Structure 1
């Protein structure tokens, strides 16, 4: 294997080079496949999130244990994507489940931090509203046959937001409020990119249908 091939393989595994990976619309049109390795990781993330909630009730204040568990659940998001690329086990369920787990983790982590007075209510409200809007827009897009690819800005937003939430769950310090605010700001920008991309796809889709109708009527 040449050095160039090895480099490209590593970029593919890290999700940087997605040119030879299945497109989002291809995965969305494929089988559900609930029992893939990446999906099992997401099931474990959901179970760990339930444990996190129980521990949050028990501790009722920021603690290293809560922060570490939250960080582990967040980091597992990287590994399920890595496993999907490594094994080629892409699935329609995984495409739906993975972002839902991320949204839940953000909302639950923010709510717990708010209950512990580690984050201001307005920041948690903005973050939760953004997550709800993202899920709604994603369902709207899928209902119209559009599968929007995750962009780099979105990945950065998730990483920064999870870092800030984990920090806030470790200790109630102002610096973590700033980090979460930065993450939420990036996520709002990412949502704008998703919306613009979706509108372009819808316009292209309508143009294709109109062209097909016009061609059929002429023949």
Structure 2
């Protein structure tokens, strides 16, 4: 089985949908989030932005299914926003010595490997594969771990309580993120084996 059935609903070419608007809002929050972390280091507001991103991440997928507004653009925007938040957070955390560089290298390396599979997908007429539930769960863990890691840097009783949980979620989320990458490569292998090659055409 190549795709997760939960995400196998028919897609359309519609652009102006509520789920796409929420995904776009999440994308616009990435530079604000980075500024808050690296500029004034306003960690409290950065946590608010991250929490809003997590809420809209849940809502856009839920609304797309309930309103039957799944679209090709949404299939690109949703994982793109997830990855940008994860990568931007890791970048800021490495700069601020919140997480070791090798943790960020594992996650970034996984995404670079998957980026290299795009030409193979396009040779079969595809742009992306359906998002796997394990990948969403991994992103969920990481996006909930990151606010906890910020709180763990503070000098308070809350940091003492949430710190161990945040680091546990980081380890678990990273492990699932890597495993989801392996499953994506397995899906890619099935696609390459089962779908015929299509003539190459330029598509930006």
CA offset digits 1:170-211 (Å, max 9, x no partner) = 2234653442122111111111111112211221224x99xx
**Structure 1 gaps, min length 5:** 1-15, 210-219
Give the counterpart of 2:41 among 60, 67, 79. Answer: 60
Matched, 1:134 2:134: no
Q: Contact 1:164 / 1:177 at 8 angstroms: preserved in 2?
A: yes
| Corresponding residue for residue 66 of structure 2 | 86
Matched, 1:182 2:162: no
Matched, 1:205 2:186: no
CA offset digits 1:71-126 (Å, max 9, x no partner) = 22123111111111121111111111111111101000111122222111111121
* Higher mean C-alpha deviation, range 98-107 or range 111-120: 111-120
Matched, 1:110 2:110: no
Q: Secondary structure at 1:59's aligned position in 2? A: coil
**4+ residue stretches of structure 1 with deviation over 4 A?**
none
* Higher mean C-alpha deviation, range 194-203 or range 144-153: 144-153
The count of residues paired between Structure 1 and Structure 2 equals: 185
TM-score between the two structures when normalised by the length of structure 1 = 0.74
Give the counterpart of 1:123 among 97, 103, 115. Answer: 103
TM-score between the two structures when normalised by the length of structure 2 = 0.79
| Corresponding residue for residue 217 of structure 1 | none
In 1: Cα distance, 2:81 partner to 2:49 partner: 15
| Corresponding residue for residue 215 of structure 1 | none
In 1: Cα distance, 2:181 partner to 2:100 partner: 22
Larger radius of gyration: 1
Give the counterpart of 1:149 among 130, 142, 166. Answer: 130
Q: Contact 1:66 / 1:170 at 8 angstroms: preserved in 2?
A: no
| Corresponding residue for residue 16 of structure 2 | 35
Q: Higher helix share goes to which structure? A: 1
Measured on the aligned residues, the alpha-carbon RMSD in Å equals 2.6
Following superposition, the deviation at residue 166 of structure 1 comes to 2.0
Q: Secondary structure at 2:56's aligned position in 1? A: helix
